Amino acid sequence: MRVLRDTLLVFQRSMGQTLRNPVWVVVGLMQPIYYLFLFGPVLKPVAQLQGFGGSAYNVFVPALLVQMALFGCVFVGFGLIAELRYGVIERMRVTPMSRLSMLLGRAGRDIAVLLFQSTMLVLMSIPFGLHITLSSILIIFALLLLIGLGMACLSYGLALLLRSEDALAPLLNAVFLPIMLLSGMLLPLSLAPGWLRAIGLAGSTVVVGIAVAAGLAALTISWAARSFGRSVA
Amino acid sequence: MSITTLRGDTPVIETHGLRRSFRTRRGEVEAVAGIDLRVDAGEIVGFLGPNGAGKTTTLRMLTTLLEPSGGEATVAGCDLLREPRRVRERIGYVAQGGATDPTVTGRRELVLQARLYGMDRATAAARAAEVLAALDLEACADRKGGTYSGGQRRRLDLGLGLVHKPQLLFLDEPTTGLDPQSRAHLWEEIRGLREQGTTVFITTHYLDEADALCDRLAIIDHGRIVAEGTAEELKREIAGDVVTVGVGNHCAEALRLLEHQPFVREASIDEGTVRLYVERGEAAMPQILRLLDGGGITLQTISLARPTLDDVFLRQTGRSLRDEAA
């Protein structure tokens, strides 16, 4: 009960800050829109290749959604470092509030922003020729939620550990780049050689994908929540 | 049936051998090396020490932010190690660097803080308004924190620390960086808290602050408490007067000449001057003049003063706080 209440309080505060300065939500949405308009047409002839696995936009839009989940959530730790510097986190740690809520309230805001952006992108892609059913939208949104949650909590955990933007930026990039390439975001992994497909778990079922994302999210949540609670000198 | 009085017999803080060490590349560093401390209800207690003495580390342990490496403590009636959550409910903490987001209004910060302590929306809003009024912040309550003056921001920090009416409030260097008027204003607020029965634990490296505000002082140096008592008690320990003699480059010679005189209790060198603790300053000064003259040392300045907290500090730690604060 306490966790729920405190999570909501932190969520409201974080959301308020985002809504007072919504430029980041818009910037986060601009990037996939650029890809949609300026890169999507390039893919149309490539989609004829054997092994591409479907029409250009049906392959490309899910990749853009995953990209948004990764990109949008991996850098949220920077905001936390600012809050650490202001002393806001320490102030909250002296109150009896739930430590898990400090994490989940913030990550909840990140997920809310992500799902809003994803909805916008899916709606904009339909005129380009995206064919999608409601059930597959729900499945992919569940997957996005788990990916976003895992990334955001990883970012928060690292921010608490490093406490400096200068150290956080290169480390996040080092984590982010291989994940992005292995996600098959740029070109489908079905075009890749066997060893690369194996590392990227290409060809596995949606259930396996969701299970892996859920596992990673659970892992990063418990790690980052502990970091919030632990004494930091 | 006995009547429990507020002051004197209820320890609000009690520590035994509280210590904390940090691991660094060069090995283990003991920031706080075993502190025994007792603070009673309704007191304002000052924790005085130079930078790096262990003040903030001690405070962070007592406020549950930092786990002690050893020892035990009871804070606000609860065991610090076993019931940190209950300790948190009962204490307030105002950190040295402040704790507000510049993009959030003072009122929002206060309402959130009150709600984090469990108040419902209406109670939190009412309490925030009360605190804003009490701290003279109503005019800027709905402006973003980034627009506040230094004094306003510090008062908001104080408000955040006491929005839930804690029985014990920790203040870490509350007036550092404030102009004299804002300092005086904040001191008034802190004295007002004592009148309401709140126990206040302050760290400071300002001697005038400790002298003006605190009922009792503990001097900490190298992670240990080296002296404890009221400001008057501490000053009285340095009996007599302080004579400061300026002799340019001849401090060592002057010290040799004077330190074993029967009228000198203690002597030390402090930045180009020799400080002498003597029984009766008026009687000692002519003798000092005569001795220096006989030794061929040119006297540049000489002054006589009653001991201050700085003298207490210098004697206990071998360092002057005045240099730290400057």
What are the tens digits of pLDDT across the range B49-67?
888 888 999 999 999 999 9
Instruction: Indicate yes or no: CB of A88 within 8 angstroms of CB of B101.
Output: yes
Q: What is the per-residue pLDDT across A169-181, written as a single tens digit (0 to 9) for each? A: 999 989 888 888 8
- Do the interacting molecules here have an ipTM over 0.95? no
Q: Which of A144, A168, A158 is nearest to A217 (CA)?
A: A144
- Residue B210, pLDDT > 50, answer yes
The answer for A 80-139 residues in CB contact with B (under 8 A) is 83, 86-88, 90-97
Nearest-CB residue to A86 (from B89, B100, B108)? B100
Q: What is the per-residue pLDDT across B74-97, written as a single tens digit (0 to 9) for each? A: 999 999 999 999 999 999 999 988
Q: What is the CA radius of gyration of chain A?
A: 19
- Which phi and psi (to 5°) does residue B235 adopt? -70, -35
> For the domain B239-306, what is the CATH code?
3.30.70.920
Instruction: Indicate yes or no: CB of B117 within 8 angstroms of CB of A95.
Output: yes
- Which phi and psi (to 5°) does residue B229 adopt? 155, -175
CA distances from A44 to A36, A65, B65, B197 (A): 12, 18, 57, 75
B69 to chain A, minimum CA–CA distance in Å? 12
DSSP label of B3: P
Q: Which two tokens stand for residue A95?
A: 């109150």
A4 to chain B, minimum CA–CA distance in Å? 12
DSSP string over B190-213? HHHHHHTT-EEEEEES-HHHHHHH
DSSP string over B241-282? EEEEEE-TT-HHHHHHHHTTSTTEEEEEEETTEEEEEES-HH
The rounded distance, in Å, linking the Cα atoms of B235 and B220 is 16
Instruction: Indicate yes or no: CB of A87 within 8 angstroms of CB of B98.
Output: yes
Identify all chain A residues contacting B104, using CB atoms and an 8 Å cutoff: 13, 16-17
In a mutagenesis test of the A interface, which of B56, B69, B112, B165 is the best target, namely the one with the most A β-carbons within 10 Å?
Answer: B112
Nearest-CB residue to B160 (from A91, A97, A231)? A91
Identify all chain B residues contacting A22, using CB atoms and an 8 Å cutoff: none
% of chain A beyond a pLDDT of 70: 98
Torsion of CA A183, A187, A190, A194, to 10 degrees: -70
Residue with tokens 């109503």: B138
Instruction: Indicate yes or no: CB of B116 within 8 angstroms of CB of A6.
Output: yes
Q: What is the CA radius of gyration of chain B?
A: 23
Give the helix/strand (H/E) hosting B219: strand B216-221
Q: What's the pLDDT band for B321 if we cut at 50, 70, 90?
A: low
The rounded distance, in Å, linking the Cα atoms of B165 and A126 is 57
CA distance from start to end of chain A: 30
Q: What is the per-residue pLDDT across A115-140, written as a single tens digit (0 to 9) for each? A: 999 999 999 888 888 888 899 899 99
Instruction: Indicate yes or no: CB of B103 within 8 angstroms of CB of A20.
Output: yes
Question: Which structural domain range is residue A49 located in?
Answer: 2-232
Instruction: Indicate yes or no: CB of A95 within 8 angstroms of CB of B91.
Output: no
Q: Which two tokens stand for residue A7?
A: 């999570």
Report whether A145 contacts A115 (CB < 8 A).
yes
Q: What's the residue count for chain A? A: 233
In a mutagenesis test of the B interface, which of A11, A80, A91 is the best target, namely the one with the most B β-carbons within 10 Å?
Answer: A91
Nearest-CB residue to A9 (from B92, B93, B116)? B116
CA distances from B246 to A107, A152, B274, B287, B302 (A): 64, 63, 7, 15, 6
Report whether B56 contacts B113 (CB < 8 A).
no
Q: What is the per-residue pLDDT across B227-285, written as a single tens digit (0 to 9) for each? A: 899 988 888 777 678 888 888 888 888 888 888 888 888 888 887 788 888 878 888 88
> For the domain B13-234, what is the CATH code?
3.40.50.300
What is the number of other CB atoms lying within 10 angstroms of the CB of residue A180? 17
Sorted by where each begins, the domain ranges of chain B are 13-234, 239-306
A39 reaches B (C-beta below 8 A): no
Q: Which amino acid is at B49?
A: G
Q: Which of B71, B81, B33, B95 is nearest to B226 (CA)?
A: B33
The rounded distance, in Å, linking the Cα atoms of A153 and A220 is 6
Task: Report the predicted TM-score, pTM, of the whole model to 2 decimal places.
Answer: 0.83
Residue B60 confidence (pLDDT): 93
Residue in chain B closest to A93 (alpha carbons) equals B65
Q: Which residues of B touch A (CB under 8 A)?
A: 22, 60, 63-67, 85-86, 88-89, 91-93, 95, 97-104, 108, 112-113, 115-118, 160
- Residue A34, pLDDT > 60, answer yes
Q: Which two tokens stand for residue B175?
A: 């007036």
**Which residues fall within 8 angstroms of residue A192, CB to CB, at 6 or more apart?**
A184, A200, A202
A84 to chain B, minimum CA–CA distance in Å? 9
Q: What's the pLDDT band for A205 if we cut at 50, 70, 90?
A: confident
Identify all chain B residues contacting A95, using CB atoms and an 8 Å cutoff: 88, 113, 116-117
Q: What is the per-residue pLDDT across A44-79, written as a single tens digit (0 to 9) for each? A: 787 777 767 677 788 888 888 998 899 889 999 999
Instruction: Indicate yes or no: CB of A233 within 8 angstroms of CB of B22.
Output: yes
* CA neighbours closer than 13 Å in the CB half-sphere of residue B127: 23
Identify all chain B residues contacting A233, using CB atoms and an 8 Å cutoff: 22, 66
Q: Which two tokens stand for residue B168?
A: 């014990």
Identify all chain A residues contacting B108, using CB atoms and an 8 Å cutoff: 13, 16
Range B13-25 average pLDDT: 91
**Which residues fall within 8 angstroms of residue B37, CB to CB, at 6 or more apart?**
B13, B14, B15, B18, B218, B225
Residue with tokens 């980034």: B146
In a mutagenesis test of the A interface, which of B101, B116, B157 is the best target, namely the one with the most A β-carbons within 10 Å?
Answer: B116
The rounded distance, in Å, linking the Cα atoms of A146 and B154 is 41
- Which phi and psi (to 5°) does residue B151 adopt? -70, -40
Contacts 24+ apart (CB under 8 A), B191-197: B191/B44, B193/B162, B193/B169, B194/B42, B194/B43, B194/B44, B197/B6, B197/B41, B197/B42, B197/B167
A101 to chain B, minimum CA–CA distance in Å? 11
What does the longest C-alpha to C-alpha distance in chain A come to?
Answer: 60
Q: Which amino acid is at A16?
A: G
CA–chain centroid gap for B176, Å, is 11
| pLDDT averaged over every residue in chain B | 88
Instruction: Indicate yes or no: CB of A96 within 8 angstroms of CB of B95.
Output: no
Identify all chain B residues contacting A91, using CB atoms and an 8 Å cutoff: 93, 95, 99, 113, 160
Q: What is the per-residue pLDDT across B136-173, written as a single tens digit (0 to 9) for each? A: 999 999 999 999 999 999 999 999 999 999 999 999 99
Q: Which of B256, B300, B296, B303 is nearest to B282 (CA)?
A: B303
Residue B125 confidence (pLDDT): 97
Report whether A72 contacts A28 (CB < 8 A).
yes
Instruction: Indicate yes or no: CB of A13 within 8 angstroms of CB of B112.
Output: yes
Instruction: Indicate yes or no: CB of B115 within 8 angstroms of CB of A9.
Output: yes
